[in-house]
Every structure is written in C-alpha cells, then in structure tokens.
A and B are shown apart, each in its own frame.
Chain A
C-alpha cells in the first residue's frame, strides 16, 4: 500500500497514463495481431463457428494449391526484374547529379515527384498508357520510331515487365534522394589520391565512390527485395493477376484467400510462410555481407 502511494507520488502513475496511447495502439493493432497470426495459421477461422484447431492443414492446403508455385515464380520474377530495372538507375542518376553543379535542386524535385503521386493514380494512369491499340499512349510514341504496337499488359509474357517498369518509375526517386544524401559524406581526398595513381573517371567511381556507398547499397538492396516480395497494388489494379495468372503474386494470393474465399486460416498461413522466408533470407544476407561491409 505504502509502496503504491510512493509510486503514484513519484510520478509513476502519470508516466503510465502517458504511455496508455502507445500501449493501446500497439497492443491492439501490432502485438496482438502478430501473436494471433501464429495461432490462426493452425486454426480454421470462418467468422461463423468458433475457430477449430486443425494442425498443419492450412499449410498443406496452401502448399498444394497449384497457384502456390505460380505465385512464387511470379513474385521472384517481379523482384529480379525490379532489381535489374530499378537498382542501377537511381545509383547512376545520383552519382551524375552529384557531379553537376547546376539544377541539382530542380533535378531532385523532378526525381522525387513520381514518389508523391498516389500509387492508385499512378497505376491507373499507366494502365491507360499501356493501351494495346496502335493509338495507345506508349504505342503512339514508339510508333514514331517505327516500333510496335506492343500488347503490354494484355500479353502474358509482357505483363510482368510492364508492371515492373511502372513500379520502378514510381519508386526510383526515393532511392535517388537516399544515395544523394549518402554521396555528400564521400571523402573527396581519396579522389585526389586516386588521381595521383592515374585513375580515370570510371576507376574513381569504381574504386572510390562505390566502396564508400557500400553500406547504404547493401541496405537498399535488401529493403528493395523485401518490399518487392510484398507487391500488391500494381498487379491488383493493373492486371488483376492476369493474363492467365501471369502476374498473380504471393500477396494477391493472400488477398484472394482471405477476402474472396473467406479462408482466413490459409491466408495467414501463407503470410507466415512469406514472413519466415523473408526473415531467413535477411538473416543470411546480413551474415554473408557482414564481412565486406566493415572493411
């Protein structure tokens, strides 16, 4: 009793009161759902009956779904394409912009502009650009050079690259700005030293600039992979997973399980598998790169 009074007098109670918003918000909407995800993946949940324990049934169901491997393949394809399109471009742009002495501010604003366009607007706009007829926006422009018309998102083999192109347009700007910030801390004396050794522009970039950006490059790489593994809006709004499931990603599968078929257990099981995979991959990645990031 006495201890309680002392605790209240000493401000313990008001501290707790001030912490209530955080505890409620995280308790209800972060910690509890995370724990519940694990429980739900072993249960059958249909909102009508009380949840029943069904062991690993959700996992076997998800893994034996013929669309499981399709969605994995598509997601990996998206991620790889996004790395090929999207990883070198911001880096090259940032290194160039850092060298320029004029318009740097204007260029940064321009580079970042697509990032602030709401994703839904961007996707719907690009969907129109990708019109497959010869009077589609992109087909018209390419037609000036005697190319096309291309079927874009209506063709199973072109749909995914088209999605990646749009996603790269929408996201590259943020990475450019990150690299620009990192470039301000590159130690320029090393360029002098490299010149003494007779290094040209390319060798200075390769041996001085890039090594000093190594840490940030490693982080943006893994963050981009984690983000692209959870791609949803682009396939959902642009192609709906089609044509012929060519753009059905893992998140689209999760969405369909939960909100089209009402199978919340299967959806959670697939979410957990994805999260587990991402966690293991990140851990291995940081283990593997630790040796070179600290040199």
Chain B
C-alpha cells in the first residue's frame, strides 16, 4: 500500500495507477427518474406493475431498516451508553431508556481521564501529517507532471513501485530508521516528527495529484511562463489554485487516516503523554469505569463522523480512490 506507515491495519496495495479522477458533479438523482433511457435491472415498464412496485418498496424498506440497525445501531447504542450509568449498561445493555441520565461521564472522561489531552495530541498529529502530505504531494506532483525534467520517469517509477510493496515489509526497518535517522543521526522516537515525516512518503497522494495536474490545460502554463513566471510562481499562482479539488480529497483522507492510525503511533510514541486517542483508548479501558470509558469512545468518534457527514459528497464520490488509501 501507498503509505508505509498506514499499512498494517489498513493495508492494501496496488490499485492507484488506474484510479479515476474525481468525477464531475453527478446529475441530480431526481432527473434520473424521469429519464426513460435510464433503467436498471427492472425496466421502466416492470416498475409500473403493481406487484413489482410492492416488492421493490418492501425490499427498499428492508434494506434501509437493516442498514440503520447495522450501521447506525452500534453508534446510537454507544451514544446512549456514554450517558448511562455503568450499572445500567452492565445489567440491561439493551434497555431502550436508561434509568437515569449521567451526563457527568462525558466531562469525567474529558477532564479526569484526560481525553482532552489525547484529543489535542490527535489533532496535532493529524495537522502535521496533513501539512507534510500536502507539501510532498503538491511539489512532487508538480515537478513530475508540469515541469517534467528528464529524470522524471525514473522518479515516477520509483514512487509507483512503493505501492506494490506491502506495508508490513517496511514496518521494522522504518522503525529502526526513525530510531536513528541516517546522516542526521538523531532519534525521532517520542517526537511527532516520527509520524509526520513518514506520512509524506505516500505514493498514492503523489500519483493522484500528478494525474490531476496532467489533465490541466498546458497552454495556461505556457502563458504564465511567457508572462515571466518562474517555476515557484507558476506553482503558487497558477497550478495550486487550479488543483483545489484534488487537494481537498488528499486533505480529508490525510486527516482521517491520521485519526485512524494505530500501530505506527503505538510503536514510535511510547511516552503516554504524547500518544493519540487510538493508542491511549485501550489503556484507558483498564483504568477508568466502564461508563467513562464508553464516553471516551464516543468523544473519539465524533470528529471523524462529523467530518464525514459534512463532506459526505466528496467521500462517496471519491471513495474508490480513498479505498486504496485505507483498504
């Protein structure tokens, strides 16, 4: 998979080269219904038949019900348990209404269990990974796509090749590299650089940005060059503003993946006060009461879910790209 760091949990290798670019905004689903040429497995004629219409309607309700129970159910249960007492959750976990609400859990988790600190750590980790990933992907993609020096096919090939190496291969050597950074001779252990810097070596991001820039109109670049723009100004004033859609995609997956990451931060951040939520939660489980622990789980989930709901269109349109990032 692309980024050595993210691998083991999410793993996945190779897909990327063929990954399609973000699609143009899809037509509104409504227009589909009236378009007679657009049919599914059932024909338009079939759909009008009473019996078929009922079967479709029942199947639709059943699938919707199933999805609500399976996807939303555990999250709703978590939300309920986070504000119930430990006793209620243990004794009758599926009771619809707890015997009393215990809002305290959330503040206890946030303050006493120090979720606030680990939350801040996670945000900080995500921001740094995001900046490094954007920097590497934009400059790299720009050189390989727009400037195209003579040696660029070699670099592109070397970047592409890392996609075909399963992440598990680099796990241990990467750890030793971080422990004693060659040439610099410093150890990144227990610093956030150990997570930020390796996050940049994400081949998937580079290739995605490169492919996007490949499709930008080259005459615009020529015009800018004629006007006297050097390579840096061309990047900053012309190429980056035109690449905003793809940078959005890279950004969202960068932040979300940093939030999900577990194994790598576990290895390189042994110091508890530096650890992100994902590493801390399993330990917190043994040290606090159950209701506070469940509240901590809920708090840790809210931000990713909020990001997803806000940017859902972007997600659902680009997930076939993102799947390579997250398996």
Which A residues fall within an 8 A CB radius of B? 11-12, 14-16, 18-23, 25-26, 28-34, 36-37, 40, 45, 47, 93, 95-121, 124-126, 128-129, 135-137, 140-141, 169, 171, 173-175, 177-178, 181, 188, 191-192, 195, 201, 204-205, 208-209, 219, 223, 226-227, 229-233, 236-237, 251, 254-255, 258-259, 264, 267-268, 271-272, 274-275, 278-279, 282
Whether A113 lies near B305 (C-beta < 8 A) is: yes
- Give the residue of B68, B77, B158 whose beta carbon is less than 8 angstroms from that of A26: B158
Chain B neighbourhood of A181, CB < 8 A: 319-320
Whether A219 lies near B260 (C-beta < 8 A) is: no
- Give the residue of B159, B231, B320 whose beta carbon is less than 8 angstroms from that of A178: B320
Chain A neighbourhood of B37, CB < 8 A: 188
- Give the residue of B12, B74, B174, B282 whose beta carbon is less than 8 angstroms from that of A237: B282
Would you give the shortest CB distance from A290 to chain B, in whole angstroms?
Answer: 15
Chain B neighbourhood of A279, CB < 8 A: 164
Give CA–CA (A129, B167) in the complex, Å: 31
- Give residues of chain B (268-327) contacting chain A, Cβ–Cβ below 8 Å: 277-279, 281-282, 285, 290, 294, 297, 300-301, 304-305, 307-309, 312, 315-316, 319-320, 322-323, 326-327
Give CA–CA (A17, B190) in the complex, Å: 29
- Give residues of chain B (141-180) contacting chain A, Cβ–Cβ below 8 Å: 142-143, 147, 149, 155, 158-159, 162, 164-177, 179
* B227: interface (CB < 8 Å): no
Whether B59 lies near A29 (C-beta < 8 A) is: no
Chain A neighbourhood of B42, CB < 8 A: 99, 201
Whether A112 lies near B308 (C-beta < 8 A) is: yes
Give CA–CA (A170, B90) in the complex, Å: 24
* B198: interface (CB < 8 Å): yes
* B91: interface (CB < 8 Å): yes
* B256: interface (CB < 8 Å): yes
* B78: interface (CB < 8 Å): yes
Whether B172 lies near A37 (C-beta < 8 A) is: yes
* B71: interface (CB < 8 Å): yes
Residue among B14, B169, B278, B305 with the most chain A CB within 10 A?
B169
